[in-house]
Amino acid sequence: MPLDKFVLLLVIVVVAAGITVWVASLALTALAVPGAWLAFIPAALVGYVVWRVIADRIGNAEDDHYDHIEK
């Protein structure tokens, strides 16, 4: 992946996570939920992304490096 696309993707993800945390903090403030729950939101987002990456690495037959090694 070219560096400019990677940086653009990284910026978009960070901005989207920031907006998500901001909206969630507004909702949690309106509902008077303790602030410790606010830390759960970014952790859940990171966990979901890690889970999707691992699932894609395991299930993608086209990306199997060891399948093309001569025996």
> pLDDT tens, position by position, for the chain (71 residues)?
788 888 899 999 999 999 988 887 887 778 776 767 767 877 888 999 899 888 887 877 676 666 666 65
Q: pTM for the whole thing?
A: 0.44
Say which DSSP state 70 is in.
-
Report the amino acid identity of residue 44: A
Alpha helix locations (H) across the chain? 3-31, 40-59
Work out the angle between the directed axes of helices 40-59 and 3-31 (0-180°, nearest 10). 140
